[in-house]
Amino acid sequence: MKHFIAISDFTPEEIQHILDVAVQLKAEWKQGGNRPILQGKTLAMVFQKPSLRTRVSFEMAMHQLGGYAFYLSPDEIGLGKRESVADVARVLSRYVDCIMARVFDHRHIEELAAYSRVPVINGLSDYNHPCQAMADLLTVMEKKGNLKGLTLAFVGDGNNVATSLAFATAQVGMNFAIATPPGYELPQAVVEKAQTLARRTGSRILTTHDPTEAVRGADVIYTDVWTSMGQEKEREQRLKVFPPYQVNAALVALAKPDVIVEHCLPAHRGEEITDEVADGPHSVLFDQAENRMHAQKAILAILLGGM
């Protein structure tokens, strides 16, 4: 049995298989048909952090595949507080066929997986965001026709989203460039792991403090909020540090003419991205948001339906 915890856990072939299944299931959905391969299956969704896209996309993914998903709020479980993570995993996995958790501490995801009888999906942790990265790759593949050899430039905080993108791009042979302010870089262990993955597929990893260097000639520009959930006390300081890393029209103009711009949402418009870019011709923000559902359908179908 496999869990879906981190992109780096999988082979390039497995990552490509998830993308191929997502394309297939999305095409069927567009034609008005859904494949009820998860009929009778249940997904427990454990939330410590709120989310529009994670909750709705997983609920609709299960619904469209014939299964059932239900939401467990932070107060209902008190993961690691009211009840130990291990006991939550032991109990839930006797009731359901799969657990998705969106947590603050990545150790909670790892502990759920260690004690669960059923697959555990990482819906987000402070370490990474693998479901988002799969939707991001799916969107690039749709817009560009291929992945290998393209360059994705991430501008902003070296956070959990950037971590999964570093792994995901390396796994599919895309080049990854990241520009962060000094002191906000990706953890060195993440960079080293991404470089190891990149050597296997022939892709390149660039880390810099200069956003113009990162985006020059890029096929994809990606950004995320400067202050993530759980970092609210740092907001004032971050607002002083990050303005040079805003994705605006001038920065986008340095990339390829057909560059696409991605953002995992929610966006703090006027901070990390301008309205002009978010609503402009290069933006694929809402195609990307839709693809959360299709990528997660593929993950669920593979874990539970044998595709």
| Catalytic site residue from 53, 98, 224, 288 | 224
| Catalytic site residue from 64, 292, 294, 296 | 292
| Cβ-proximal residues to 165 (8 Å cutoff; 6+ apart), any chain | 133, 136, 152, 154, 176, 222
> In whole angstroms, what separates CA 119 from the centre of its chain?
18
| Cβ-proximal residues to 98 (8 Å cutoff; 6+ apart), any chain | 41, 42, 43, 44, 118, 119, 120, 121, 300, 303, 304
How far from 271 is each of 222, 237, 268, CA to CA, in Å? 14, 13, 6
**DSSP state, residue 186:** P
102 noted as active-site residue: yes
Query: What is the bridge-based pairing of β-strands 68-72 and 42-47?
Result: parallel
Q: In angstroms, rounded to a whole number, what is the distance separating the alpha carbons of residues 252 and 277?
A: 8
Count the neighbouring beta carbons within 10 Å of the beta carbon of residue 101. 28
Q: In angstroms, rounded to a whole number, what is the distance separating the alpha carbons of residues 60 and 68?
A: 9
| Catalytic site residue from 132, 171, 288, 296 | 132
Q: Rounded to 5 degrees, what angle do the CA atoms 188, 192, 195 make?
A: 140
| Catalytic site residue from 129, 238, 263, 294 | 129
98 noted as active-site residue: no
Q: In angstroms, rounded to a whole number, what is the distance separating the alpha carbons of residues 193 and 197?
A: 6
Local structure of 201: helix, strand or coil:
helix
132 noted as active-site residue: yes
| Catalytic site residue from 264, 288, 294, 296 | 264
| Catalytic site residue from 3, 102, 263, 294 | 102
Work out whether the CA dihedral 115, 21, 295, 71 comes out positive or negative.
negative
129 noted as active-site residue: yes
279 noted as active-site residue: no
199 noted as active-site residue: no
Q: Which residues are catalytic?
A: 102, 129, 132, 224, 264, 292
